[in-house]
Amino acid sequence: MDDSQEQQDRHFMELALSLAETAAAKGQTPFGAVVVNRDGKLLGEGYNSVRADRDPTAHGEIVAIRAAWRAVGAWQMLGGCALYSSCEPCLLCSFVITQIGFSRVVFAARGSDVPTYRPLLGADLAVAAAWVNSQPDWPPLEVVPDFMRERALQIITAFPWAQASTRTRVESTR
Ligand SMILES: [Zn+2]
């Protein structure tokens, strides 16, 4: 990884982590993500809003991808983009990431760092990407794990997980 790439990765991961903090401040689980194009331009950002929007698919990554798609107008423009996420994308998000053809995903915390971690098929992005990269007809996906993981762990540790399953009031994002 060269210096400018590292600098860009730090910049956008800072943003994804601050979005995770925003989610937590609003009573949502602490996950944030941003979408960045090949030129290093920010296209969309998002944080978990599942409860606020009563939308089970509103994971931080999906919210960021929706925002990016709406910003560029066509999903084909998202092919080859990079996604930065405060935590390893789950299978739901991995499906969308690989269908759209993102070329790079950088994540901070591991899924198993999350107290409520319960991965479908025991898999998440690392497993999905390994499968994708073994297929001849899927665009390759580079995965950069554990990037600024310590910061993400602080945010995850500070979150009141025990209350997360019982609380009902959350601030709507719309
Ligand atoms: Zn997800």
Q: Tens place of pLDDT for every residue, the chain, 174 residues?
A: 578 999 999 999 999 999 999 999 999 999 999 999 999 999 999 999 999 999 999 999 999 999 999 999 999 999 999 999 999 999 999 999 999 999 999 999 999 999 999 999 999 999 999 999 999 999 999 999 999 999 999 999 999 998 766 665 566 666
Ligand 1 centroid to Cα of residue 65, in Å, is 11
Q: How many C-beta atoms lie closer than 10 Å to residue 146's C-beta?
A: 14
Confidence (pLDDT) at 163: 79
Task: Just list the catalytic residues.
Answer: 61
Confidence (pLDDT) at 38: 94
Sheet holding 42-47, edge to edge: 42-47, 32-36, 82-87, 104-109, 142-144
What's the residue count for the chain? 174
Please say whether the beta carbons of 125 and 146 come within 8 A: no
Confidence (pLDDT) at 74: 93
Q: Which DSSP state fits 111?
A: G
Ligand 1 centroid to Cα of residue 6, in Å, is 25
Residue linked to tokens 């944030």: 32
Confidence (pLDDT) at 5: 93
Please say whether the beta carbons of 132 and 141 come within 8 A: yes
Which structure tokens are listed for 112? Answer: 């198993």
Ligand 1 centroid to Cα of residue 89, in Å, is 5
Confidence (pLDDT) at 72: 96
Confidence (pLDDT) at 1: 58
With H, G, I as helix, E, B as strand and everything else as coil, classify residue 3.
helix
Q: How far apart are CA 139 and CA 124, in angstroms?
A: 18
Confidence (pLDDT) at 2: 77
Q: Is the dihedral of CA 51, 58, 127, 35 positive or negative?
A: negative
Ligand 1 centroid to Cα of residue 87, in Å, is 9
Ligand 1 centroid to Cα of residue 72, in Å, is 22
Task: Please return the burial class of 17, using the count of CB atoms within 10 Å of its CB with bins 0-12, 13-18 and 19+.
Answer: buried
> What pairing do the DSSP bridges indicate for beta strands 104-109 and 142-144?
parallel
Q: How far apart are CA 18 and CA 7, in angstroms?
A: 17
